[in-house]
């Protein structure tokens, strides 16, 4: 049985088991839902992207795709090795690609397949319209099970909650019980009619086991759409905040009001002050979204790009006031510069004549430029290298992707190579 038909078959089996109790009408409805799931899987699975050890999904015929930041970028220093990216579509087609836009706060990367045209893709849905109990479909590469035959896994479940502050680095997400596991990260969460509702990112775990517990979180489609223009410009996007407003955060304060977020203080001459917020205002709505406490308010703010203009409704005594405010931007993400690597392992030459190459990585520029096992490195950047330690220091003095002139000895000949240095691991 194809993996992407498993969820539908399971649903039909459950319907068969209950047929005697519920009657033919319920059975017919289960078969209708099964047919809809199978049709949707056939439509959306071709747009799935295998990238790294995770997942992604195409959102345009010319190759734009989404995945998680923690899948396509280095999570330690948030640097992308854009020159060496590649991906596969469902079925195995191989493509070169690059990561264009980065959102480490929202855990989203926007990528582009090079020279792409007429690719299968999916359309965005309205993640704000999602209701608890609504059926959803997750497509992914859990535990890299699909990485050999490029057949992604499909799971089926329901929306457990929407607009959740997940306390897992996400501020406003869709919660689902559709099974997602390591490897599903960056993959799509669909409505039953095949609209993209979000990008699966994180799961709740228990007992330090990184396996599904029935709680998965997807970054909502509407949030991603708000950032799309900035993501396509390239580089890092910046989320919103509202400077100068302090709300109720402790347990007693959170339950002091039956609805809304209580404003405890407003800093003079701040953005909040200039917009018209006052102490003891109760924030009840932001852009049509109901606010029940201060954490919900912060969650909504985090789903907007910095510089966005939003309308906030506040209760001020018996009056309800609309406040229009242009949001501040979070601080810029500092992109670390990666150090360089030669693309080869080496050791001191036995006769003290330089540094001997032990092996050369197959996909490195050093390999492409002809560096071989047994070569003796004499100079790099015009400076002589005496031993392996001095060569290592010389290489690390370069940034990644920089071209370094290297002089090697091969037999009785000296050769000049120009090697583009790899990013250090």
Give span(s): CATH 2.30.42.10, the chain.
240-329, 340-423
Superfamily of domain covering 340-423: PDZ domain (2.30.42.10)
Res 80 pLDDT > 60: no
Contact between 120 and 47 under an 8 Å Cβ cutoff? The reply is yes
Summarised one tens digit per residue, pLDDT across range 48-61 is: 999 988 999 999 99
Between 396 and 232, the more confident residue is: 232
DSSP 77: T
- Phi, psi (deg, nearest 5) at residue 143: 55, 25
Q: How far apart are CA 26 and CA 32, in angstroms?
A: 10
Q: Which of 127, 160, 185, 364 is catalytic?
A: 185
In this predicted structure, what is the pLDDT of residue 381?
Answer: 84
Summarised one tens digit per residue, pLDDT across range 321-355 is: 999 999 999 988 665 556 788 989 988 887 777 89
Please provide the DSSP assignment of 194-241 as one string. Answer: S-EEEEEEEE--BTTB-S--S-EEEEEHHHHHHHHHHHHH-EE--BEE
Q: Could you say which of 2.60.40.3950, 3.90.1150.10, 3.40.50.720, 2.30.42.10 is the CATH number of the domain covering 240-329?
A: 2.30.42.10
Report for 157-171, 247-261, 277-291, 322-336: range of highest mean pLDDT? 277-291
CATH number listed for the domain at residues 1-237: 2.40.10.120
Residues contacting 392, CB < 8 A, separation 6+:
none
Pairing state between β 261-266 and 282-286: antiparallel
By three-state DSSP, how is residue 253 classified? Answer: helix
Res 41 pLDDT > 80: yes
Give me the mean pLDDT over the 59-88 stretch: 76
- The pTM of this model reads 0.74
Please provide the DSSP assignment of 38-71 as one string. Answer: HHHHHHHGGGEEEETTEEEEE-STTSEEEE-HHH
Could you confirm whether 107 is annotated as catalytic?
Answer: yes
| N-term to C-term CA, the chain | 40
Quote the distance between the C-alpha of residue 384 and its chain's center: 44
Band of pLDDT at residue 267, cut at 50, 70 and 90? very high
Could you confirm whether 280 is annotated as catalytic?
Answer: no
Give me the mean pLDDT over the 22-26 stretch: 73
Report for 56-60, 206-210, 259-263, 351-355: range of highest mean pLDDT? 56-60
Please give the mean pLDDT across all residues of the chain.
87
Res 44 pLDDT > 80: yes
In this predicted structure, what is the pLDDT of residue 167?
Answer: 59
From 274-278, 292-296, 351-355, the region with the lowest mean pLDDT: 351-355
Give span(s): CATH 2.40.10.120, the chain.
1-237
Q: Which of 4, 70, 163, 239 is catalytic?
A: 70
The tokens 């920089």 sit on which residue? 402
Could you confirm whether 387 is annotated as catalytic?
Answer: no
Summarised one tens digit per residue, pLDDT across range 85-118 is: 889 999 999 999 999 999 999 999 999 999 999 9
The burial class, CB within 10 Å (0-12 / 13-18 / 19+), for 251 is: exposed
Q: Which of 103, 107, 341, 422 is catalytic?
A: 107
Task: Work out the percent of the chain whose per-residue pLDDT is above 90.
Answer: 59
In this structure, how many other beta carbons lie within 10 angstroms of the beta carbon of residue 391? Answer: 23
């Amino acid at each position: 049985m194809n993996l992407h038909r498993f969820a539908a078959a399971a649903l039909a089996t459950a319907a068969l088991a209950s047929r005697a109790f519920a009657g033919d009408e319920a059975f017919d409805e289960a078969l209708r839902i099964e047919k809809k799931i199978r049709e949707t899987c056939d439509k959306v699975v071709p747009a799935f992207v295998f990238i790294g050890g995770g997942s992604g999904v195409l959102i345009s015929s010319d190759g734009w795709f989404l995945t998680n930041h923690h899948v396509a970028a280095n999570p330690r220093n948030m640097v992308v090795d854009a020159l060496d990216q590649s991906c596969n579509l469902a079925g195995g087609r191989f493509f070169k690609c690059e990561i264009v836009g980065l959102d480490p706060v929202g855990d989203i990367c926007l990528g582009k397949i090079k020279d792409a045209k007429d690719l299968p893709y999916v359309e965005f849905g309205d993640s704000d319209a999602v209701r608890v109990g609504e059926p959803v479909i997750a497509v992914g590469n859990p535990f890299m099970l699909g990485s050999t035959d490029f057949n992604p896994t499909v799971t089926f479940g329901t929306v457990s909650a929407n607009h959740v502050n997940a306390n897992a680095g996400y501020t406003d997400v869709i919660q689902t019980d559709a099974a997602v596991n390591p490897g599903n990260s960056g993959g799509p969460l669909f409505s039953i009619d095949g609209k993209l509702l979000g990008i699966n990112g994180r799961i709740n775990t228990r007992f330090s086991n990184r396996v599904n517990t029935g709680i998965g979180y997807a970054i909502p489609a509407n949030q991603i759409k708000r950032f799309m223009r900035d993501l396509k410009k390239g580089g890092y996007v910046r989320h919103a905040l509202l400077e100068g407003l302090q709300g109720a955060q402790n347990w007693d304060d959170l339950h002091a009001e039956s609805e809304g977020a209580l404003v405890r203080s407003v800093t003079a001459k701040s953005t909040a002050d200039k917009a018209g917020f006052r102490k003891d205002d109760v924030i009840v709505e932001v852009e049509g979204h109901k606010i029940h406490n201060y954490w919900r308010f912060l969650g909504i703010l985090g789903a907007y790009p910095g510089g966005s203009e939003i309308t906030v409704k506040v209760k001020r005594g018996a009056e309800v006031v609309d406040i229009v405010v242009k949001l501040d931007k979070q601080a810029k993400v500092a992109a670390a510069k990666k150090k360089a690597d030669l693309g080869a392992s080496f050791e001191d030459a036995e006769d003290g004549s330089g540094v001997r190459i032990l092996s050369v990585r197959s996909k490195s520029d050093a390999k492409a430029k002809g560096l071989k096992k047994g070569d003796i490195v004499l100079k790099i950047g015009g400076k002589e290298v005496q031993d392996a330690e001095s060569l290592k220091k010389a290489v690390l003095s370069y940034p990644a992707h920089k071209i370094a002139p290297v002089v090697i000895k091969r037999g009785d000949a000296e050769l000049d190579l120009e090697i583009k240095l790899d990013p250090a691991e």
